[in-house]
């Protein structure tokens, strides 16, 4: 039996495929390659170029392969873009997941682990955030991810599907082997954009807003290494395969860093002065997002290995130095 990884050519998906293969699992990957890269797919995974909105393509995969569970990363994931083009997010994230679940139900595949996000919480009332805290997304990306969680819940009631929603905080870093890393086109995420400065690809990093109610006025985020996220997906799939009930878990390190602190860590790691300029706030950004991941540690036995931001940024820097233009 195989695990089907949707979006397995993307950043977090490709790292999860590497960990699954290292753990000896049989892996099938489907990706439409709109934002993912064929070169990021582990050579031992069976690859289908397919879009989750294509019901026929999904049906074909479930008919050809013996799938015991699905790990679903195939979604649009940029906060800024979701504010300027919200309907793209409804189409790809919600319509895509609708088609996928229809196909899973039709083929009796009843276990799914999927990417949710800290953006489901919106502006938190307190940090660290617990899974039981209120969810009031401040951007369309978070809204569609929360709606995906709700879609799973109703599908469970009607059809017995079991799911794990993993609410990631800020994914970063690269595979320790250097084989794969973070590559987006265009890049919008903080750490890869910062590293473009020492890589000679941009002359400064913009800080989006310096007037947030945080210790230095810039946004606070909880940065978590992509390999630690990947491990959590395997634990979550095993939890479902062993009969675990549907559940929601936060995945973060429980430590918040401001944008300015992240830039300082990158200066230390790279030895480059990395000039920074303050620019206006980006629409939809909450001031701070920091996870309590106690539940994932207790229920799934998750133990992040890369708690230190310097180590995380170093692994990202190794990848970006070696692959300045991505794949």
Tell me which residues touch ligand UDP (CB under 6 A). 79, 170, 188-190, 193, 205-208, 219, 221, 259, 282, 285
Both tokens of 148, joined, read: 């995906």
d(CA 266, CA 167): 26
Q: Which residues of 303-312 are buried (b: 16+ CB within 10 A; e: fewer)?
A: ebebeebeeb
| For ligand UDP, the closer CB: 12 or 20 | 12
When the beta carbons of 149 and 285 are compared against ligand UDP, the nearer one is 285
Look at the block and give the residue holding tokens 């009796």: 108
Q: Which residue is nearest to ligand UDP (CB)?
A: 219
> Is 306 a catalytic site residue?
no
Q: Provide, rounded to whole angstroms, the least separation between the CB of residue 229 and ligand UDP.
A: 13
Give least dist CB 3 to ligand UDP, A. Answer: 26
Cβ-based nearer residue to ligand UDP, 62 or 249: 249
What are the backbone dihedrals phi and psi of residue 32, each rounded to the nearest 5 degrees, phi first? -85, 0
User: If DSSP codes are grouped into helix, strand and coil, which group holds residue 211?
Assistant: coil
In angstroms, give the least distance from the CB of 190 to ligand UDP. Answer: 4
Q: Which is nearer to ligand UDP, 58 or 190 (CB)?
A: 190
Could you give the CA distance from residue 38 to residue 199 in angstroms, rounded to a whole number? Answer: 24
Least distance in angstroms from the C-beta of 168 to ligand UDP: 8
Q: Least distance to ligand UDP from the beta carbon of 205, Å? A: 6
Helix, strand, or coil (residue 129): strand
In terms of DSSP bridges, do strands 276-279 and 205-208 run parallel, antiparallel, or are they unpaired? parallel
> What is the C-alpha end-to-end distance of the chain, expressed in Å?
30
Nearest CA to 71 among 199, 198, 166?
166
Nearer to ligand UDP among residue 143 and residue 285 (C-beta): 285
What span, in angstroms and rounded, lies between the C-alpha atoms of 327 and 119?
28
Q: Let me know: does 189 contact 320? Beta carbons within 8 Å.
A: no
Catalytic hit among 18, 48, 121, 141: 141
Q: Which pair of tokens denotes residue 284?
A: 């939809």
| Active site residue ranges | 141
């Amino acid at each position: 039996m195989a695990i089907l990884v949707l979006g397995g050519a993307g950043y977090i998906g490709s790292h999860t495929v590497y960990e699954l293969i290292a753990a000896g699992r049989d892996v099938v990957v489907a990706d439409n390659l709109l934002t993912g890269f064929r070169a990021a797919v582990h050579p031992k995974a069976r690859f289908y170029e397919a879009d989750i909105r294509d019901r026929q393509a999904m049906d074909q995969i479930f008919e050809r392969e013996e799938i015991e569970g699905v790990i679903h990363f195939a979604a649009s994931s940029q906060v800024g873009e979701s504010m300027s083009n919200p309907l793209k997010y409804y189409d790809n994230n919600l319509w895509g997941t609708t088609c996928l679940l229809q196909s899973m139900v039709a083929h009796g595949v009843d276990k799914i682990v999927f990417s949710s996000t800290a953006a489901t919480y919106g502006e938190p009332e307190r940090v660290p955030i617990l899974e039981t805290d209120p969810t009031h997304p401040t951007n369309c990306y978070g809204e569609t991810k929360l709606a995906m969680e709700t879609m799973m819940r109703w599908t469970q009631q009607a059809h017995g599907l079991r799911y794990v929603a993993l609410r990631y905080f800020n994914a970063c870093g690269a595979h320790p082997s250097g084989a794969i890393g973070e590559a987006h086109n265009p890049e919008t995420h903080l750490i890869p954009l910062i590293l473009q400065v020492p890589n000679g690809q941009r002359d400064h990093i913009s800080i989006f807003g310096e007037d947030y109610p945080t210790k230095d006025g810039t946004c606070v985020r909880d940065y978590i290494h992509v390999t630690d996220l990947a491990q959590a997906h395997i634990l979550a799939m095993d939890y479902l395969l062993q009969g675990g009930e549907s559940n929601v878990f936060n995945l973060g390190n429980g430590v918040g860093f401001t944008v300015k602190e992240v830039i300082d860590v990158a200066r230390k790691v790279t030895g480059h002065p990395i000039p920074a300029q303050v620019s206006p706030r980006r629409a939809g950004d909450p001031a701070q997002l920091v996870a309590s991941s106690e539940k994932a540690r207790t229920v799934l036995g998750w133990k992040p290995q890369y708690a230190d931001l310097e180590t995380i940024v170093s692994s990202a820097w190794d990848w970006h130095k070696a692959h300045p233009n991505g794949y």
